Structure 1
Amino acid sequence: MATSGKKWFEKSRQIKGVLLDITGVLYNSGHVPTPIPGSIEAVKRLKAEGIPLRFCTNETQTTRAELVKKLCKLGFELEANEVFPPAPAMCHILRQRSLRPHLLVHPALLPDFQEIDQSDPNCVVLGDAADVFSYENLNKAFQVLISLEKPVLFSMGGGKYYKENDSLVLDVGCYMKALEFATGVKGEICGKPDANFFNGALADMFVRPEDAIMIGDDIVNDVGGAQACGMMGLQVRTGKFRPSDENHPTVTPDGYVDNLAEAVDLFLANRQK
């Protein structure tokens, strides 16, 4: 058994719902995305057992529809309503609060906001804009915020970095912090590790936090965020995981596994005892 940390394993029989991160847990991103060995079969096995699943991701470089299409093309079996990215939740918040965003997001994500009024912006929304995070575009977002009497800043995720093409690259949280520093505005996160984001996925499954587990490669946003909501958090040693994560100063996962396949092997074996 390659796992370390036994709390999750001892309590696995009570688990009634599973939240899975996508990038770094199901597949490795890059120019040619590739499934992590065993992950396709692991998802199939969980579904065959009738265990409710939700795929919670901070993916903001594509629409939910395109993300689902990509996962299905890679071989994963899932429904669109099982995928929880930040953009739909962000649109709901904008409508609810009558906000008109200045968007600094990846061009491929823009279709998810096409029904949102973007005239005369009274807030700024950040996503993982990748190369669109230029000085000019960040400065424009700064100028919008600094011009508002009551500035509002949203970030679809709070990550520091993620793994792409075998390299670690800056995530949206870094740019949120830059705008916070420049404007004095505290950003609101719509995505992991925000509690409302996790709780929305749990409510959709009708599962209580204490009966759920989050499996992710990000020790802060996946594991720590889930634990703060009352869930168990399981760390995989794939994706952005680094050995130093096993000595993280603020987050102690309920367990570590080498990959999703190992987690499912252990989880199902214990349930069948």
Structure 2
Amino acid sequence: MAAWARAARALLLDVSGVLYDSGGDGGVPIAGSAEAVRKIKASSLKLRFCTNETQATREKFVKKLQGLGFDISVDEVTAPAPAACRVLKERNLRPHLLVHNDVVPEFAEIDKANPNCVVIGDAADNFSYANLNEAFRVLIGLENPVLISLGRGRYYKETDGLKLDVGAYMKALEYACDIQAEVVGKPAKMFFESALAELGVQPQQAIMIGDDIVNDVGGAQQCGMRALQVRTGKYRPGDENHPRVKPDAYVNNLAEAVDLILQQLHE
């Protein structure tokens, strides 16, 4: 049995590209993934769903996954928007939001008058020139500009193909304003540490399973976790030659990863 599977007490699962491919009328489950989640929950392993989803509130996101056949609840999800809200409150920041319309309710209790920062997420069709320029003007007009990004992904997969993610637009604002964004989603260390704290386990006791070589695998490994890359979602064969990030293992899909880990538990 592979060494990476030993002594695991908890699994952290990426969602889009691991459980399902998004797009269309809500998405398409990846074969075997719903059953794999059920197997984890029937085992002694702790489980956390770790997503950079910023196109919906957690409640709406979870409802969609439940409709696809997944056993998941809101309190099992670690997501960027709630983490960003904690940062905003702690630092008395008032955001100008460049986010998807469906995630705006996550910021309902945040003061947004006279903005002193910008929060950017995967705004999809809201990434127009006018909206990006408005965010630029807010930042460039501040003495100490603060840009908070809900992720830095390059692209993601929907049923009709690959789509540009928030990282491309974050980089545009960084370049234009000569600043560095503060990332609260994956691969930020704070994101993974929050998930581990919610599970009550140490990094070496957890395995991250994701489709993104940098944000999922690289981010988790930097926190001391083991990390697997599935060959689903945004995975590309070229990932296996990545110059910096080397997963602890490649697996064809979530179902295969879970079966291997559970076999180790039972030996």
Establish whether residue 117 from structure 1 lines up as the match of residue 111 from structure 2: yes
The equivalent of 1:21 in structure 2 is: 14
Could you tell me which residue of structure 2 aligns to residue 213 of structure 1? 207
Q: What SS does structure 2 have at the residue aligned with 1:14?
A: coil
- Please name the residue that 1:3 is paired with: none
TM-score (norm 2): 0.98
1:204 partnered with 2:198 = yes
Q: C-alpha root-mean-square deviation of aligned residues, in Å?
A: 0.9
Map 1:50-129; keep pairs closer than 5 Å.
50-129=44-123
User: Which residues of structure 2 form unaligned runs of 5+?
Assistant: none
How far apart, CA to CA, are the structure 1 residues paired with 2:5 and 2:249? Answer: 11
Give deviations 1:177-208, integer Å, cap 9, x for gaps.
Answer: 00000001110001000000000000011100
Name the amino acid aligned to 1:148: L
Q: Deviations over 1:86-124 (max 9, x none)?
A: 011111110010000000000011111111100000000
Q: 2:176 aligns with which of 157, 166, 182?
A: 182
Aligned to 1:149, which of 143, 149, 167? Answer: 143
The answer for the alignment partner of 1:30 in structure 2 is 23
Where structure 1 has 5 or more consecutive residues not aligned to the other structure, the ranges are: 1-5
Give the equivalent residue in structure 1 for 2:257: 263
Q: CA deviation at 1:34?
A: 1.1
1:229 corresponds to which of 223, 229, 233: 223
Give the C-alpha shift of residue 168 in structure 1: 1.3
**Following TM superposition, where does structure 1 have runs of at least 4 consecutive aligned residues deviating by more than 6 angstroms?**
none
Aligned: 1:191 with 2:178? no
Could you tell me how far 1:166 is from its partner in structure 2? 4.0
User: How many angstroms apart in 2 are the aligned matches of 1:44 and 1:119?
Assistant: 45
TM-score by length of 1: 0.96
